[in-house]
Amino acid sequence: MNNTKRAKELEEIILKHSSPAGRILSILEEIQEREGYLSKESLKYISKRLNIPLADLYSLVTFYSFFNLERGGKHTITVCMGTACYVKGAPKIIEELERRLGIKEGETTSDGIFTIKSARCFGACSMAPVVRINERIYGYVFPESLPSLLKLYGWKEK
């Protein structure tokens, strides 16, 4: 993204959230929604524009697992590691995903298609264990059901 275009887009987001208190999270959330992640350039811009030290923004962004500092793959697979899902075998799901996609948690496949992440409770414990792919939540996911699930997102078994 070139700088004028970035400035225009970020100004638009800032204007939308004009209440001074607590708006920073909403601003960061919307930037991530539009750009897919929070780039260093965007954070620096927001820091200058809203007069918040970059160190404070970086602290906030690294506190919430929701925020990404790196561009993820086309599809983000988030495995719930909340208590219920954990007990129901979430670690095994991560293990199997890592094996199938050949990457570790937090990494993106070399073709830029999949990113594996983990998170705490999605609030869907009744369907544990759950996996979120992009915005969609899948319940009762087990290692054996992963291939068919991944195929929905264009994955091919080698």
Partner 1 sequence: MVKIKINDQNLYAREGENILKLALKEGIDIPHLCYHEIFEEPYGACRLCIVEVIKDDERFITTSCTLQAQNGLEILTQSPEVVKHRKILLELYLAQAPNAENIKKLAEKYGIEKSRFPKRAFVTDHLNGKCILCGLCIRVCGEVMKAGVINYIGRGPSTKINTPFFEENPDCLGCLACVNICPTEAVSAEEVENRKILKSWSETKVKMKECKNCGSLFTTYPLWEKTKSLLMEMDTELEELCPNCKRELLIKKLTKNLPLPKPY
Question: Which residues sit at the interface with partner 1, rule CB under 8 A?
Answer: 40, 43, 52-59, 62-63
C-alpha 1/C-alpha 91 separation (Å) is 38
Q: What does the angle CA 32 – CA 8 – CA 49 come to, to the nearest 5 degrees?
A: 75
User: At its nearest, how many Å lie between partner 1 and the CB of residue 45?
Assistant: 14
- Closest C-alpha to 10, from 28, 25, 23: 28
User: At its nearest, how many Å lie between partner 1 and the CB of residue 10?
Assistant: 18
CB-facing half-sphere around the CA of 133: CA atoms within 13 A: 16
User: At its nearest, how many Å lie between partner 1 and the CB of residue 52?
Assistant: 8
Nearer to partner 1, 42 or 150 (CB): 42
Quote the crossing angle between the two packed helices 3-16 and 40-50, to the nearest 10°: 50
User: At its nearest, how many Å lie between partner 1 and the CB of residue 105?
Assistant: 14
Nearer to partner 1, 62 or 83 (CB): 62
Nearer to partner 1, 38 or 97 (CB): 38
| Residue linked to tokens 């929604």 | 33
Nearer to partner 1, 47 or 109 (CB): 47
